Amino acid sequence: MELLLLALSCLHVLKTEAVVGHWCYRSQKCEQPQCEDPAQWHNINAACRGDSQSPVNIVTRNVVYDKSLKPLAFEGYDVKGSAKWDLENNGHTVKVALDTSPKVGGGGLGIKYKAVEFHLHWGVPGEPRNFPGSEHSIDGEKYPMELHVVHIREDASDVTEAKKSPDGLAVLAFFIKADEENKNYETLLSALKDIKYKGDKVKVEPLPLSSLLPPEEDLGRYYRYQGSLTSPDCHQGVIWTVFEKPVELSVLQLSRFAALHFDGKNSTPMMENFRPVQPLNGREVLWSRASVTLPTARLLLALPLACTLISLAL
């Protein structure tokens, strides 16, 4: 009912002084009709119309087995840092910057990469099964949420420097499905109520990054391809590793993301903050070993919920 009221309110809200040149997700267009949604991101950054963009739909019958894709080596992922994490609502997602720099190597990467931040993408928190929000999809199906752990080359000082190399960034992507409660996420989830609005930050106790991921023994099965960042500037030069084994959160845990908003008070709830899948344009998607059938996800939805409901109401 709350989502329906929100959607109908868009019929008469349209009150935002939308700034031309500001990028947004499609779910924000009701309130900010002049913002640049994913189909228009190239107006802000030309790279967003490049031929190696992310995310992609992984068609399992077309993936190519690569024997060099052994299990990755995780360094420092099981270490709890001493400094508290800054959990931030940056107006697009929930983000945590990392300063302890856990590293990952092997698995065909060639060099080591250090983790600099992680963030999430989701659909409609109150309806995770019906309105999923993972960025990547498998055979046209999506999961409720997707976790991205962003890494840069070990020898780069920051993301800006890393972007100067064609292999400067590596992102590990983990699907999140609606299933059992995951107590390892409670520290983060309990703080969401304190970062409701854009710019809000709160310090939380640090966690070993491994506690947010599937067990390491389940991380040997993954897909690999060359792509881009999934939001402007859409920088190409990102090595993507998309793991088959999903993280589990309960429906109740996923629903707690409903506390977040894209902007200030009375702004659009932060939902459907994902980029639609992009064409492969001839790129190969590699796999580490024989694929297995993933748990049932949900078919990709074409329109954000709020605007879909509006069209039905008209």
Given this model, what pLDDT does residue 4 score? Answer: 47
Q: Which tokens in the block code for residue 277? A: 């899948």
Greater pLDDT, 314 or 57: 57
Per-residue pLDDT at 82: 83
In contact, 313 and 11? CB cutoff 8 Å: yes
What's the confidence (pLDDT) of residue 81?
85
Q: Indicate the pairing of strand 85-89 with strand 94-97.
A: antiparallel
pLDDT band at 18 (very low <50, low <70, confident <90, very high): very low
Kindly state the average pLDDT of the residues 35-59.
97
Pair 227, 120: CB distance under 8 Å? no
- Which residues contact residue 146 at a Cβ distance below 8 angstroms, ignoring those fewer than 6 apart? 120, 121, 122, 133, 134, 135, 136, 173, 174, 175, 176, 274
- Rounded to the nearest 10 degrees, how much is the dihedral formed by the CA atoms of 88, 91, 97, 102? 120
CATH of 50-306, picked from 3.10.200.10, 3.40.50.300, 1.20.950.20, 3.30.420.40, is: 3.10.200.10
Take residue 126 and report the two structure tokens written for it.
């109150």
Residue 293's pLDDT is what? 46
Name the residue with tokens 């983990």.
Answer: 174
> How much is the pLDDT for 298?
55
| CB half-sphere exposure, 273, CA atoms < 13 A | 27
Q: What does each C-alpha distance from 162 to 25, 33, 171 come to in angstroms?
A: 26, 34, 13
Alpha carbons 239 and 2: distance in angstroms, whole number:
39
Residue 119 annotated among the catalytic residues of the structure: no
Task: Judge whether residue 2 has pLDDT over 80.
Answer: no
Output the average pLDDT for the chain. 89
Burial zone of 89 (CB within 10 Å; 0-12 exposed, 13-18 middle, 19+ buried) = buried
Per-residue CA distances from 174 to 50, 51, 263, 304 (Å): 24, 24, 26, 22
**Which of the following is catalytic: 22, 42, 92, 119?**
92
Q: Assess whether pLDDT exceeds 50 at residue 15.
A: no
Would you say 99 and 107 are in contact if contact means Cβ atoms under 8 Å apart? no
Report pTM.
0.89
